[in-house]
Amino acid sequence: MDKKKEIILIVEDEDIAQKNLEHILIKTGYDVVSVNNGSKAVDLLHSKNFDLVITDLKMEKVDGMQVLHKTKELQPYTEVIMITGYATIETSVQAMHDGAYYYVAKPYKIGEVRQITKEALLKRRLRLENIELKETLKKQKKISNIVGQSKVMIDVKKTIHQIASSDINVLVLGESGTGKELVARSIHQLSLRSKKKFIAFNCGSFTEELMSNELFGHEKEAFTGAKKTKSGLIKVADGGTVFLDEIGDMPLSMQVKLLRVIQEKEVLPVGGETPVSVDVRFIAATHHDLKEDVEKDHFRQDLFYRLNVITIKLPSLTDRHGDIPLLAHHFLAQKNKAMNKDIQNIPKESMELLCQYCWPGNIRELENVIERAVVLANGPDITVSELPEYICNLSIETYRRNDSDLPTLEDQEKNYIKWVLGKCEGNKTKAARIMSIDRVSLWRKMKRFGMNDASNV
């Protein structure tokens, strides 16, 4: 791919001087736009971007200093070279003070102009590259807390980068402790809304009345004790992002109200008569199977479609097993800093135990285990003695048939399902995941085997 030519604006009211300068720069390999007065230059600066402006100082109506000031106002990273036949120390100092890259006196040498032009454009390129690098590092820092190099987590990070700058609603799915809020915060921090508020709200922690009050706010005297008007969290987040955790636990009547907010972009405070306009992006999260909840009329289909524009599914920690050492060392560094300790290492024996454990509490449980170990550790390592007893006393369980007769394949399958369900304490979703089948397949198998609990799958 050919390198894009840099564009230079020449502002010169002397026809011969303009054509000479234009010839020099075009021959050197630049794209050139020329005008013969400052007014035309200012008009162009409003509509077209330039890499460099070379302007005469003395011009009628709009002079070179005015062109310099307008360039720095409209295109602050564009360099400006001043050229004049009336050079004085005072004007050159003033021009440099106001942001000019260089001040060239007429008559000038062709080689001098070429060299100064080259240096000015190099300075601009380096400055823009530095800005771009800082922005890249800033974005990497904002997503750096999402630790993991497993394929599924690389895909999650890629999706976050792809969707962050848009305003589409996002649904984050995953078991408790998998980092759903961390994903939501990363999306917000990488978005154009990052300078506004990020408000997190857990839909499973409030009664319906309190939920309405918290999300939508209330008017003065809307109910007993409402002594003054209160803005709801959605209004507080205006211009920013609202994260609705455990959206699957939201009552159906509240789902209707939330749907109106999403559709109409306005909230009606409790006791209010006039809706209040809001501009927020919604990110929702749940451990529920919302499609199944929709089928059972536990969740509104229209709200599901509004929230489920993009879905990010977070794996359980056992499904990203290779990330356990990375996460363990990440939390070790965090807890060291928080507790002013200097634990250096997680030895092989301790790490093997961490990697063998099934982590039903996912990343949150791993973080708590590392925090506990850092508190207890007296030496430079996290030894086995600093790990919880239930992790140290792991036993590997396998499925075996108790009797000695050779079982049929159907018997094996039926008894295996019973065994897995027992280990999962009846949790069908977890059992289906362990068996690498979906819940519908599990339901069909249980129904075929006449297992009494099939209707509740």
Residues 6 or more apart whose Cβ sits within 8 Å of residue 24 = 110, 113, 114
Domain of 429, CATH number, reads: 1.10.10
CA nearest to 232, candidates 252, 206, 251, 253: 206
Residues of the chain with pLDDT under 50: 1, 396, 398
Domain termination residue (choose one: 132, 152, 182): 132
Domain of 348, CATH number, reads: 1.10.8.60
* Terminal CA-CA length for the chain: 58
Assess if residue 138 is contained within a domain: no
Q: Domain range holding 383?
A: 318-392
| Percentages of the chain per state (helix, strand, coil), in multiples of 5 | 50, 15, 35
CA nearest to 269, candidates 239, 300, 226: 226
Assess if residue 233 is contained within a domain: yes
CA nearest to 444, candidates 417, 412, 411: 417
Could you tell me if 174 and 303 lie in one domain? yes
Could you tell me if 182 and 235 lie in one domain? yes
CA nearest to 239, candidates 277, 278, 203, 205: 278
Could you tell me if 184 and 309 lie in one domain? yes
Could you tell me if 307 and 327 lie in one domain? no
Assess if residue 401 is contained within a domain: no
Query: pLDDT value at position 433?
Result: 78
Q: What residues does 218 pair with on adjacent strands?
A: 230, 270
- Whole-Å CA distances, 306 to 54, 183, 262: 53, 19, 8
Could you tell me if 298 and 332 lie in one domain? no
Tens digits of per-residue pLDDT, 303-336?
999 999 999 999 999 889 889 999 999 999 999 9
Could you tell me if 421 and 451 lie in one domain? yes
| Rounded (5°) CA angle 293-296-300 | 60
Assess if residue 332 is contained within a domain: yes
Could you tell me if 289 and 200 lie in one domain? yes
Query: pLDDT value at position 412?
Result: 77
Assess if residue 438 is contained within a domain: yes
Could you tell me if 307 and 333 lie in one domain? no
Could you tell me if 198 and 305 lie in one domain? yes
Query: Rounded distance, CA 265 to CA 13, Å?
Result: 54
Domain of 231, CATH number, reads: 3.40.50.300
Could you tell me if 172 and 309 lie in one domain? yes
Could you tell me if 184 and 284 lie in one domain? yes
> What's the domain count of the chain?
4
Domain termination residue (choose one: 266, 293, 313): 313
Could you tell me if 388 and 416 lie in one domain? no
**pTM beyond 0.75, yes or no:** no
Tens digits of per-residue pLDDT, 421-450?
888 878 888 888 777 777 777 887 888 888
Assess if residue 66 is contained within a domain: yes
Assess if residue 293 is contained within a domain: yes
Domain termination residue (choose one: 313, 343, 376): 313
H or E element, residue 358 = none
